[in-house]
Chain A
Amino acid sequence: MLSVSKINFERYFAPVFQPVSFTLEAGGLLLVTGANGCGKTTLIRVLAGILHPTSGEFSSRTGSMAYVGHHLGIKDDLSVVENLRFMRDFLGTSNRSSEEVMKEVGLTRVSEQLARTLSAGQRKRCALARLLLSNTQLWLLDEPYSNLDQEGVELVDKMLLKHLEAGGACVLATHGAHRPNWQQTENYELISGVAA
């Protein structure tokens, strides 16, 4: 699904992390762990194609991927349902209705509220709903558990396991103690490029 060989990213001529190589097969989950500032977010953004690696290369067999990062990509001046409806129409790949997805992530009660009035956890759920609307095989999740309550953490795990069971793959960056329970999990400890 995704194969990465020796990619590196330099910021101001200093490598952010040490060269990264791995392969990810369908149904595989790659957990990227490491201390704060070791480059987890940078790696995910390189894989997403937002940043270009300084050296090394990677190839992905799926054309598009879904990404949830620190900037959630939700419009504050639109309501939850308007946000989801836009994502659905814009991506144009899902045959699920925005109401159905909203129910799954537990936002039905606040569907008509403007996104700016939501709590951080509810905003995260709204961003996670995009994964359900995107119909892509590769998910890139950057700290998906942050800001979520226990029920929200379980929701992410449930969504993730369903996605992996259906033959999807996921790269998940986390610094926290919580790890999803999945048999094809590989752990990648990212080492900061500065410490070396």
Chain B
Amino acid sequence: MTIEASIDAGGAASTGIEAGAGSMNKAFFALLRRDLLLAFRRRTELLFPVIFLLVVISLFPLGIGPSPQLLARIAPGVIWIAALLATVISLDGLFRSDFEDGTLEQFVLSGHPLTLIALAKIVAHWLVAGLPLVLLSPLLAIWMNLPLDSLGVMIVTLALGTPILSLIGSIGVGLTISLKRGGQLLSLLVFPLYVPILIIATAAVMAASDGLPYTAFLGLLVAGLITSLTLAPFAAAAALKISLS
């Protein structure tokens, strides 16, 4: 298949590229705004991962006993595992409704790069599903009796880590979207990929509560964020293309 772009009279090429970048920008923000509006319209779906997170965390003191030292010891792992579960629950909605109602086909046809579209949707997903986890983490830390001096590190790891979860998850969603019950397969696909994030993030918080240096772990998280931010949207777009055909 060859698509020859029609080239207008001389000199139009450079302005064409600028106009292209401008319209891509516009498309990115139009899509972001639409996704946030849709999330707001479906508030129950919006709240579900957050409530799930709160319930899971509140079950731990009931299940293993309210010993402050024990809770403080397991707090980083528990909060992070609950955040992983809450993210995976919300992931399936990332592309599914667009896939089912034909909007994704329209995105492919629009001429805008699918990578940009995937990125806009991932950003919207993080704002809706990841950011609330970051904002709730001080409350969760108090519930789990996490020492106050490691609270800051906990918030930073979640702020750096949850976007990685959304980015890596988008690849899995792209691959499983054409399956009727893709959600179950999705969790099997993405959990192994989440393991390094979990290890690094909890190691950072534990190091902070033990008074050890933790900046190296945060550096690794930043590296992970940059890598996934630059690569995951391309992979998600490729996965979506496979799922569409």
Please report A residues at the B interface, Cβ cutoff 8 Å.
Answer: 45, 48-53, 57-67, 69-78, 82, 86, 89-93, 130
Given known pairs A59-B4, A63-B6, A78-B34, the reply for A92 and B26 (CB within 8 Å) is yes
Give chain A's interface secondary structure class: loop
Q: How many residues of B contact A (CB 8 A)?
A: 32
| Chain B nearest CB, measured from A93 CB (Å) | 7
Q: Would you give the 0/1 interface string for B40-62, flagging 1 where the beta carbon is closer than 8 Å to chain A? A: 01100000000000000000000
Q: Which residues of A contact B103 (CB under 8 A)?
A: 73-75
A-B contact pairs, 22 of them (CB 8 A): A48-B108, A50-B108, A52-B1, A52-B245, A53-B1, A58-B1, A59-B2, A59-B3, A61-B4, A64-B109, A64-B110, A67-B106, A73-B102, A73-B103, A74-B101, A75-B103, A82-B34, A86-B30, A86-B33, A89-B30, A90-B31, A90-B112
Extra inter-chain contacts (17) besides given A59-B3, A76-B101, CB under 8 Å: A48-B105, A48-B109, A50-B108, A52-B1, A66-B109, A67-B106, A71-B101, A71-B102, A71-B105, A73-B106, A75-B34, A75-B103, A78-B37, A82-B37, A90-B27, A90-B31, A92-B22
* B109 adjacent to A62 (CB under 8 Å): no
Q: Which residues of B contact A91 (CB under 8 A)?
A: 27, 110
Taken together as a complex, chains A and B put the C-alpha atoms of A52 and B241 apart, in Å, by 10
Give chain B's interface secondary structure class: helix
Q: Which residues of A contact B30 (CB under 8 A)?
A: 86, 89-90, 92
Q: Which residues of B contact A50 (CB under 8 A)?
A: 105, 108-109, 244-245
Residue of B nearest to A74 (CB): B101
| Chain A nearest CB, measured from B244 CB (Å) | 6
Taken together as a complex, chains A and B put the C-alpha atoms of A72 and B30 apart, in Å, by 19
Q: Is B230 an interface position by the 8 A CB rule?
A: no
Residue of A nearest to B244 (CB): A50
Q: Is B111 an interface position by the 8 A CB rule?
A: yes
* B106 adjacent to A75 (CB under 8 Å): no
| Chain B nearest CB, measured from A142 CB (Å) | 11
* A89 adjacent to B27 (CB under 8 Å): yes
| Chain B nearest CB, measured from A63 CB (Å) | 5
Given known pairs A69-B105, A90-B110, the reply for A49 and B4 (CB within 8 Å) is no
Taken together as a complex, chains A and B put the C-alpha atoms of A146 and B200 apart, in Å, by 56
Taken together as a complex, chains A and B put the C-alpha atoms of A45 and B22 apart, in Å, by 29
For the A-B complex, the count of residue pairs with Cβ-Cβ distances under 8 Å equals 94
* A75 adjacent to B1 (CB under 8 Å): no
* B106 adjacent to A130 (CB under 8 Å): yes
Please report B residues at the A interface, Cβ cutoff 8 Å.
Answer: 1-6, 22-23, 26-27, 30-31, 33-34, 37-38, 41-42, 97, 100-103, 105-106, 108-112, 244-245
| Chain B nearest CB, measured from A72 CB (Å) | 6
Taken together as a complex, chains A and B put the C-alpha atoms of A163 and B6 apart, in Å, by 19
Taken together as a complex, chains A and B put the C-alpha atoms of A74 and B34 apart, in Å, by 12
Q: Which residues of B contact A74 (CB under 8 A)?
A: 101, 103
| Chain A nearest CB, measured from B178 CB (Å) | 12
Taken together as a complex, chains A and B put the C-alpha atoms of A60 and B1 apart, in Å, by 9
Taken together as a complex, chains A and B put the C-alpha atoms of A60 and B30 apart, in Å, by 28
Residue of B nearest to A137 (CB): B6
Residue among B6, B23, B30 with the highest chain A CB neighbour number at 10 A: B30
Residue among B4, B31, B111 with the highest chain A CB neighbour number at 10 A: B111
Residue of B nearest to A71 (CB): B102
Q: Which residues of B contact A48 (CB under 8 A)?
A: 105, 108-109
| Chain A nearest CB, measured from B174 CB (Å) | 15
Q: Which residues of B contact A90 (CB under 8 A)?
A: 26-27, 30-31, 34, 110, 112
Taken together as a complex, chains A and B put the C-alpha atoms of A53 and B103 apart, in Å, by 22
Q: Which residues of B contact A92 (CB under 8 A)?
A: 22-23, 26-27, 30
